[in-house]
Copies of this chain bind each other. A is one copy, B any other.
């Protein structure tokens, strides 16, 4: 864990309300880190539904495979998250470690191992010694209490420089329901770690299938629209749990994602996911600038996404922003290499609202001094107009600095 907090960290601590039916406890199990918590147990009341989305990696971690298999029932009673070891690329040992962890958690929580969800983040390729959880999980289950979201978010950090929390409260029917979320980030660009984890909890009474559908839609323009360095993790996990407790205060039970009563909830879920994913971008390793890339006028949203990602993942664009250089030539390059329809002579590019290029050449009204001043802002918006159609998309990333190299090259030495 880096000692210096990212300059892009939120300036206010989020005040998190409780979510009825969710209890937490954290402990220091000594997986890898010393002198800090590294295991989180969440105990979920009976009746909690669960949904999840995971890494698209062809080499997923053992916990990802475990969660995928257990998701089918749609029921959850416990979540165990450890930091320091990803339990990825650990073969049969890895599968045994997940089974043992789930068995220990199930015993502690009084449920079936099939209702236990697991996530691990940290070094890839090292066996995870799950026997370290023996005893720890039983104690955690006894002490679990509602409320301490900050401690929970801290226990799942690896090289994150700040804990990531977000919350929203909205009407479902006539009742208030709460959506709380936490995430760990930075990891997609971190040494040996390559993980992004996020957990969302709500008291809304929503069926697992409806929740799954909401989550899948919600992730598209939030977590899936963030990149730090284009390196997709073996462990990315986003789980959402709905305890249903708000039914007691009159919230209607929802079984279909298309239910019109979900409108406010869907929007609030999106807000929470967007908030968490932006915090991930703000804590990208070595990040000094938050970069928002907006592509407009593409032939489709999908095409706009590909172009935005090509720009967001370009080391030349990212280093230019680090150098506070409005280098539109590199943006042109990244648009050109995306392989999507683009017409150079219709291209326009703006940095923080100042147009630097239009119709495939430098904007005649371009003023270097004005643009240079704008580039000193900690948030840089690159707006790209393709002039071809109505496809639009937005992606968040951060700049690429020497600090990134220092962290990732010097890690094990």
Which residue numbers of A lie inside 8 Å of B, CB to CB? 55-60, 86, 88-94, 123-127, 189, 191-192, 194, 229-234, 313-316, 319-320, 322-325, 327-330, 332-345, 347, 357, 359-362, 400-402, 404-406, 408-413
> Are A340 and B58 touching (Cβ within 8 A)?
yes
Which of B232, B336, B410, B411 contacts A336 (CB under 8 A)? B232
- Chain B residues lying within 8 Å of A328, measured Cβ to Cβ, are 89, 125
Stoichiometry (number of copies):
2
> Are B361 and A194 touching (Cβ within 8 A)?
no
> Are B342 and A405 touching (Cβ within 8 A)?
no
Which of B233, B340, B343 contacts A333 (CB under 8 A)? B233
Once bound together, how far apart are the Cα atoms of A69 and B328, in whole Å? 27
Tell me the dominant secondary structure on chain A's binding face.
loop
- Chain B residues lying within 8 Å of A194, measured Cβ to Cβ, are 316, 329-330, 333
Whether A324 touches B413, Cβ cut-off 8 Å, given contacts A319-B405, A336-B57, A401-B405, is yes
- Chain B residues lying within 8 Å of A337, measured Cβ to Cβ, are 56-58, 231-232
> Are A234 and B336 touching (Cβ within 8 A)?
yes
> Are B316 and A189 touching (Cβ within 8 A)?
yes
- Chain B residues lying within 8 Å of A57, measured Cβ to Cβ, are 333, 336-337
Please give me the residue from chain B that is nearest to A323 by CB atom: B409
Q: List 7 A-B contacts (CB under 8 A).
A: A59-B347, A124-B330, A126-B362, A192-B327, A316-B408, A325-B411, A402-B406
Once bound together, how far apart are the Cα atoms of A66 and B247, in whole Å? 69
Whether A91 touches B60, Cβ cut-off 8 Å, given contacts A323-B409, A329-B192, is no
Which of B124, B362, B409 contacts A401 (CB under 8 A)? B409
What are the 5 tightest A-B residue pairs by CB atom distance, in nearest-first order? A124-B329, A59-B336, A57-B336, A91-B361, A323-B409
Chain B nearest CB, measured from A362 CB (Å): 6
Please give me the residue from chain B that is nearest to A321 by CB atom: B409
Interface centre among A60, A125, A234, A338 (most CB of B within 10 A): A125
Which of B60, B231, B335 contacts A59 (CB under 8 A)? B335
Chain B nearest CB, measured from A32 CB (Å): 13
- Chain B residues lying within 8 Å of A231, measured Cβ to Cβ, are 314-316, 330, 333-334, 337
- Chain B residues lying within 8 Å of A230, measured Cβ to Cβ, are 313-315
Once bound together, how far apart are the Cα atoms of A123 and B329, in whole Å? 8
Once bound together, how far apart are the Cα atoms of A406 and B59, in whole Å? 34
> Are B406 and A339 touching (Cβ within 8 A)?
no
Once bound together, how far apart are the Cα atoms of A360 and B123, in whole Å? 15
Which of B91, B123, B320, B344 contacts A408 (CB under 8 A)? B320
Whether A323 touches B58, Cβ cut-off 8 Å, given contacts A231-B316, A316-B194, A333-B233, is no
- Chain B residues lying within 8 Å of A189, measured Cβ to Cβ, are 315-316
Whether A412 touches B333, Cβ cut-off 8 Å, given contacts A93-B361, A229-B315, is no
- Chain B residues lying within 8 Å of A330, measured Cβ to Cβ, are 124, 192, 194, 231
Once bound together, how far apart are the Cα atoms of A345 and B34, in whole Å? 31
- Chain B residues lying within 8 Å of A335, measured Cβ to Cβ, are 58-59
Once bound together, how far apart are the Cα atoms of A194 and B125, in whole Å? 36
> Are A405 and B322 touching (Cβ within 8 A)?
yes
Once bound together, how far apart are the Cα atoms of A230 and B336, in whole Å? 12
- Chain B residues lying within 8 Å of A341, measured Cβ to Cβ, are 58
Give 4 new A-B contacts, CB below 8 A, not counting A319-B404, A323-B413: A60-B336, A125-B332, A325-B412, A402-B405
- Chain B residues lying within 8 Å of A314, measured Cβ to Cβ, are 230-231
Chain B nearest CB, measured from A413 CB (Å): 5
Which of B89, B93, B316 contacts A332 (CB under 8 A)? B89
Once bound together, how far apart are the Cα atoms of A136 and B332, in whole Å? 31
Please give me the residue from chain B that is nearest to A62 by CB atom: B344
> Are A89 and B329 touching (Cβ within 8 A)?
yes
